[in-house]
Amino acid sequence: MTETRAKMYGNHIGGDWVEAASGETFEDRNPANGELIATYARSGKEDVDRAVKAARGAFERWRLFPAPKRGEILYKVAQLMAERKEDFARAMSREMGKVLAEARGDVQEGIDMAFFAAGEGRRMLGDTVPAEMPDKFAMSLRMPIGVVGLITPWNFPVAIPSWKSFPALVAGNTVVLKPAEDAPDCARLFTELLLDAGLPEGVYNTVFGYGEEAGTALVEHSDVAGISFTGSTAVGIAIAREAHKTHKKVATEMGGKNAIILLDDADVDLAVEGSVWSAFGTAGQRCTAASRMIVHSAVLDEFTEKFVRAAEALTLGDPLDGSVDVGPLVNETQLKRVSGYMDVAEGEGAKLLCGGERATGGDLDKGYFFRPTIWGGVRHGMRVAQEEIFGPAIAIIPVSSYEEAVKVNNGTPYGLSSAIFTQNVNTAFKAMRDLYTGITYINAGTIGAEIQLPFGGTKATGGHREVGQQALDSFTEWKSVYVDYSGKLQKAQIDEI
């Protein structure tokens, strides 16, 4: 392969673009064909320390900047992102493999979040409540926590930084972003956009590099007041433990093992369409991707036949090609991980219905493509029904009742997203009550959250919430304020003598 000289990009710290202190770099490559996109600064402890100092230096001024004015900058961010939507989308497809239509949706989430967070600059609600004494006023308000470290994944390289950055900024915090090493180009474009919108120097800083180096340094830094992380459960738990040592506020959004329930009265064709989108969108590399189909025995054969046929009809290829349905996995490590579960499934006795192998032939040989995979005859306790695979692979689990379906759905360590297809309104409302996940869809797949409601899950998924007004909780502390205008000392809860 002949490669042209790639551009090199440094960190953004305190208003300047600078190389890593070590001078080291890492490569950003296209997972569809291996082409080199650019090289980026490989940051370490010294770089993170410099970024945190810049953020700390900017905090006092930024927290005193009126919140409505902070919101106005985010309105500008939204407008600029809308203008640059196609540039962001194409960069995303090129560096992490999401097909172009999905990449545009990813950017649109960022636009929506910017508008939503901007509005909080004129709202950011607290409470005013009656005081128990005469001539006394009582209220609560939010305070920014200081410097926040954001550690973001590669699978939503615009949406998730938006979910974290915009609430943090509008609340008056300053930021150090450590994006995933598989999606630095989107993070660079994101940072440039914020600067173009008018953020003051030092308010937003970006350090590129690896999690075990730059990410660890950010978590351990004593001047970082909060960490917001999206990624695997194992890493999230390690971050929470380490951050606790320095009393950081921590928010983690971690793994999922999401299921779609298909009852005997469901619209099977609609369920097939929703399941294909949920299982194979972004090549299954979404925390909300469906990796389990819990199907009533009465419709099992019909659904399975149609589902397999639809999966086999999907087109794999260059994600920048508008005719392609599924792009590549993000890197070789992910390809090996997904491939490894094929042996696991076979060893457990699952029946391979389609896929199950790396996709090859023509240009597919150049990238990390994996064929959409469906297993039948899966039992609830199998590893492929319990562990997050994070690839285009889904297991069909037969059940005989609504009650059994709910038990299977809830019977994993995770609790992010769930879905149920039924035409019985009573059953639908029971499912809203019974499915123990942070998100539940009725007659739709497990993906497609909107930014005006909280996003997050239960159990090992993390328990914290992003987007919606609840996103502010990760980046603020509550302060209760009492104003006594009686002119005399009034002692709360003390009986007068």
Element at 461 (helix H, strand E): none
Check pLDDT > 70 for residue 497: no
pLDDT (0 to 100) of residue 143: 98
pLDDT (0 to 100) of residue 4: 59
State the pairing for strand pair 458-459/414-415: antiparallel
Residue 477 annotated in active site = no
Give 50's pLDDT tier (boundaries 50, 70, 90). very high
pLDDT per position as a tens digit, 75-128:
999 999 999 999 999 999 999 999 999 999 999 999 999 999 999 999 999 999
Residue 354 annotated in active site = no
Instruction: Annotate 361-407 with DSSP letters as a single string.
Output: SGGGGGTT-B--EEEES--TTSGGGTS---SSEEEEEEESSHHHHHH
- Catalytic: which of 181, 287, 388, 466? 287
Domain borders along the chain are 7-254+462-480, 258-442
CATH 3.40.309.10 fits 258-442, yes or no: yes
* % of the chain residues with pLDDT over 70: 99
On whether the CB atoms of residues 392 and 357 are closer than 8 A, the answer is no
Check pLDDT > 80 for residue 279: yes
Rounded to two decimals, the pTM is: 0.96
Pull the structure tokens for residue 236: 């999230």
Maximum alpha-carbon separation in the chain? 90
pLDDT (0 to 100) of residue 496: 67
Check pLDDT > 90 for residue 494: no
Residue type at position 380: H
pLDDT (0 to 100) of residue 493: 86
CATH superfamily label, 7-254+462-480: Aldehyde Dehydrogenase; Chain A, domain 1 (3.40.605.10)
Region 163-192: what's the mean pLDDT?
98
On whether the CB atoms of residues 417 and 447 are closer than 8 A, the answer is yes
pLDDT per position as a tens digit, 188-246:
999 999 999 999 999 999 999 999 999 999 999 999 999 999 999 999 999 999 999 99
Check pLDDT > 90 for residue 3: no
- Catalytic: which of 95, 253, 388, 466? 253
pLDDT per position as a tens digit, 365-418:
999 999 999 999 999 999 999 999 999 999 999 999 999 999 999 999 999 999
